[in-house]
Amino acid sequence: MLFLVFPMRRALLLLLTSASAWAQVRAQPPSLQDLMHARNVGMGGAYRPLGYGAEAVSGNPASLSLYKRYQLELSGSWDITQGFGFGTIALADSASTEVAAGIAYHLVTLGRDDTQRTAHMSTAAMSIPFANVVHIGVSVQHQLITGASNTNSVTMNAGVMVKPLDFLSLSFSGHNLIDVRSADIPRFLSFGAAVNFG
């Protein structure tokens, strides 16, 4: 019996240990996946399953129809040491019709010296709710990147949001689904779960 109790205590201790204490992540240079507003950085990137801000246009487009609203956001960030900065303007409308829509523009500078480049990214997104439980969204993104690497291309994102309970949101999205053969625009998948008690 003592053998079973000791591993249970160790397992409980491991569960209560902070994840950052065990996972030392090497700093990666900022990328075009890091275009999060300050609110989202403070939430650990939880904006994809929550869908509060207009950044849903370039995040998970399915989250646009989660809340009825008109929203205009201006945002930006500048990391002097990494040579990374961006400015964003985004507009979302989910109050006019059942189909929610949004547009966003990002002006981004990243890299230093030989790797420095500038990106202009324009995104248009739409989302349709089904019984306000399942939300499906799609967005089309145009990117014009000049500098160390150049691209003038179009890709798309698609996502699904499931809100089975008022306080629970589950998010799944695929980004840059059209391969544009650019290291700055990689394909990636995102899954998130959020609990909001008010």
Residue 117 banded pLDDT, cuts 50, 70, 90: very high
pLDDT given at position 123: 96
Over the chain, what is the mean pLDDT? 83
* Four-point Cα dihedral 113, 118, 33, 41, nearest 10: 80
In the predicted model, what is the mean pLDDT of residues 96-114?
92
Reported pTM: 0.79
pLDDT digit string, tens, across residues 84-102 = 889 999 999 999 999 999 9
pLDDT digit string, tens, across residues 133-182 = 999 999 999 999 999 889 999 999 999 999 999 889 899 999 999 999 88
pLDDT digit string, tens, across residues 33-52 = 767 777 777 777 666 677 77
pLDDT given at position 22: 45
pLDDT given at position 90: 93
